[in-house]
Amino acid sequence: EKYQNIVARVAQIACLTSPDMEKYGVTVDKRQLARDWMRISGSRVKEELLWLYLNNCSYVVKWITELGHGEMELHLLGCRYKGPDFTEYGGTHCFDLREGSTKYKNRHGMMLVAEVLEEHCLEGKDNKIFCNTEAKYLEKNADGRVVSCIALCEDGKYRRFCGSKAVILATGDIGSNREMMRTFCPLALIPKHNGYVP
């Protein structure tokens, strides 16, 4: 983690089925959602990743809920755009700490989820989280698969972190990188205020 502690953004998480959706009669046609997603994005979607998400999002949300050991609740949000050009699908949810629970310091949203995931990660015997550590270089094997990264650690030393099964690089957004914004999203350079925070 490049920052001084685990960081998460926003409050919402989406899935296609949940107890609240069943309770309120909200259903989502997965195939129609996939078609609309591809149409609205001008077909700039890796379809296999889209289907990976659509087929697994509800399982992942259920798994995260179970990791909270009954200390948090998942609530369906009712606010969604229903305009003439496009209609948002129901399925946006938010996690909240149960009333009276003191198990977690974060009470709401993705920071609560990040805290639950951090706790789960650290339950593993040899798992560690390195904060104030910036991945600088990725290393590949002869097949071209990324197998490790070189990171600048908090003590100023470079260390190699090797993946046993995979290396997952979660980069966040590009709001702090003007060069990337100029290349990939020049429209983002127009506003005077940049909402990026580390």
**pLDDT tens, 109-131?**
999 999 999 999 999 888 899 99
pLDDT, mean of residues 2-6: 88
For residues 103 and 41, give the distance between their C-alpha atoms in angstroms, rounded to a whole number. 40
| H or E element at residue 14 | strand 12-14
pLDDT tier, 197 (very low <50, low <70, confident <90, very high otherwise): low
pLDDT, mean of residues 184-195: 87
Sign for the CA dihedral angle at 112, 197, 148, 166 comes to: positive
Sign for the CA dihedral angle at 70, 74, 107, 12 comes to: positive
8 A C-beta contact, residue 150 and residue 160: yes
For residues 112 and 117, give the distance between their C-alpha atoms in angstroms, rounded to a whole number. 9
**pLDDT tens, 40-57?**
888 889 999 999 999 999
**pLDDT tens, 15-41?**
999 999 999 999 999 999 999 999 988
Nearest Cα neighbor of 102 from 88, 117, 112, 92 is 112
What was the pLDDT predicted at 51?
97
What was the pLDDT predicted at 70?
93
Q: Facing residues of 94 across strands? A: 12, 75
**pLDDT tens, 162-176?**
998 888 888 777 888
Residue 198 has pLDDT above 70, yes or no: no
For residues 8 and 6, give the distance between their C-alpha atoms in angstroms, rounded to a whole number. 7
> What is the average pLDDT value for the chain, to the nearest integer?
91
Sheet holding 92-97, edge to edge: 12-14, 92-97, 72-76
**Residue 12 neighbours by CB under 8 Å, 6+ apart:** 77, 92, 93, 94, 109, 110
The residue behind tokens 């914004």 is: 181
Nearest Cα neighbor of 160 from 148, 146, 168 is 148
The residue behind tokens 């190699």 is: 160
Task: Determine how many CB atoms are found less than 10 A away from the CB of residue 84.
Answer: 5
What was the pLDDT predicted at 104?
93
Q: Is the pTM of the predicted complex or chain greater than 0.85?
A: no
pLDDT tier, 81 (very low <50, low <70, confident <90, very high otherwise): confident
